[in-house]
Chains A and B, each alone.
Chain A
Amino acid sequence: MNIEIEEICKDFGTTAALQPVSLSIPAGSLVALLGPSGSGKTTLLRILGGLEFPSAGRVLFDGADATGLTVQERRAGFVFQSYALFRHMSVFDNIAYGLRARPRKTRPAAAEIARRVTRLLDLIKLPDIGGRYPSQLSGGQRQRVALARALAIEPRMLLLDEPFGALDAKVRKELRQGLRDIHDTTGLTTIFVTHDQDEAMELADLIVVMSMGRIEQIGRPAEIRARPASDFVRQFLDL
């Protein structure tokens, strides 16, 4: 699904989290929102997911206006920074949550839900942890469960807020490749937030560099490296 962001603004009271921002994301791409703390990355992601509504501007999904769609109607697979796994549910129930929440007409039967959860557990390479609780998992495992839970709803896009933020360098590297693989197998338009330039350079097809609620530059990693659009980009990327 391609995503069109047209002149989106967001104010929180007197602070402007996003100045008018425009961005066009081709279907199936893997996009990094890169920028320093407070630059509006999370705000933009939450607007796409329907958790926040823009003060002005439009969002288009496949050309259709999606600005007014509720969070449920967006069907965005959202992975939160702290993962936000349901702490009182087993991993299995966490992943099955979205399927069970469907209206009766479109809800799969219990056996089908179990089959899909098992397949997702295989996809994240953690086939045996269905019975555990989130408190019994490592950080990296939690992150992958959160990803599986988001994928379970057959989302139209995947939105990840600093998916590797709380993990050590080695695990980050492994999971990076994991995300790339999952993106390539599902073909989902994927947007992830990071303030790690290496992560963005290595993983993304397209990098959106943000600063103080504005987009400084949009481009492929090689383009940005070759032609940084501003002093800010040059400095932030150590070019």
Chain B
Amino acid sequence: MAHCVPLAARPRRLRSATTEPRVVKGVLIALCLAVLSVLLFAPLIAVFDEALRRGWAFALASLGEPDAQAAIRLTLSVAALVVPLNAAFGIAAAWAITKFDWRGKAWVITLIDLPFSISPVVAGLLFVLMFGANSAFGAWLVASGFPIVFAVPGIVLATLFITFPFIARELIPVMLEQGRAEEEAALTLGASGSRVFLTVTLPNIRWALLYGVLLCNARAMGEFGAVAVVSGKIRGQTTTMPLMIEMFYNEYLSVAAFTMASVLALLAFVTLVLKSALEWRHADQLAATHRH
């Protein structure tokens, strides 16, 4: 998508080596837009349309239901917990990988990608196996009044697992490219390790970190598969927004389902708008530090 726009916005008399003939350009752009509208815009409109089929009042009323409210609250609080934790983990992992040499590093890089390659359902099942009532540890947890599976901690764990790579993956290439020289310079100037991190490392990675956080947040709110397995789907307690949508839908409450879906889509949309706005406002700074 990002590649379609600049091509069109750059009229040039002299063709550069990589510029295609006009016809090819036109066809490619048309194709791009067609695919986008069929696959993205149309379904999105359909979701909003379906939600508003019986009018605003009805749609909003469905959001006022205690179960719906509980689902929204749960999703927002899980995201509010998971995103900062994964930001911390992601920074730590990227720091360890890019700023030091140690054995087993390549192995850890592979491990970070694991959540990308494992199906979320399988990930969910892993947590059930480890912490479920059928395992010794899980039984002890239940007995001591702190169950993980079929409870909020399980949802948080599953979401943490699924969204782990987002921030680390965003940071590692940027930190690799920047190298260690600035940090070393700061050390020779007398700064302590933590001061170097706060005044040199963090400002240099802030854009990558922001992207990672936004992506992580979007996925944390939207995750279905892994959360569905560990949640137990107790209404009002362990049902997140995506799960709630499915339940409403299966109960033929289509306005409620699509209204909740619209809210989720809007949350994601706000995230994207925020990202674009920041990109636009700091365009020159971004170009100066790294190309994204």
> Chain A interface (Cβ within 8 Å of chain B)?
49-51, 71-72, 74-78, 80, 82, 84-88, 97-98, 101-102, 133, 135, 149-150, 152-153
Contact = CB atoms under 8 A, between A and B. Distances in A.
Nearest first, the 5 closest Cβ-Cβ pairs linking A and B are: A98-B189, A84-B181, A101-B191, A78-B188, A84-B185
A92 to B, nearest CB: 15
Contacts of B191: 72, 97-98, 101
A49 B188 CA distance: 7
19 contacts: A72-B187, A72-B191, A72-B192, A77-B188, A84-B181, A84-B185, A86-B185, A86-B186, A86-B199, A86-B200, A88-B289, A98-B189, A101-B186, A101-B192, A101-B199, A133-B288, A149-B189, A150-B188, A153-B189
Given A87-B204, A88-B203, A80 B190 contact: no
Given A72-B192, A152-B189, 9 more contacts: A72-B190, A75-B190, A86-B199, A87-B204, A98-B191, A101-B186, A101-B189, A101-B190, A149-B189
Contacts, number: 66
Contacts of A149: 185, 189
B189 A80 contact: no
Given A84-B181, A88-B204, A51 B188 contact: yes
B289 A87 contact: yes
Contacts of B192: 72, 101
A80 B187 contact: no
B190 A153 contact: yes
What's the dominant secondary structure at chain B's contact region? helix
Given A87-B204, A88-B289, A101 B185 contact: no
Nearest to B186: A97
Nearest to A77: B188
A136 to B, nearest CB: 9
Contact of A71 (B182, B187, B199, B289): B187
B184 A86 contact: no
A150 B185 CA distance: 9
Interface string B49-87: 000000000000000000000000000000000000000
B204 A102 contact: no
B195 interface: yes
Nearest to A152: B189
A84 B189 contact: no
Contacts of B190: 72, 75, 98, 101-102, 153
Contacts of B289: 87-88
Interface in B171-193: 181-182, 184-192
A49 B184 CA distance: 10
Contacts of B203: 88
Contacts of B187: 51, 71-72
A85 B200 CA distance: 10
B288 A84 contact: no
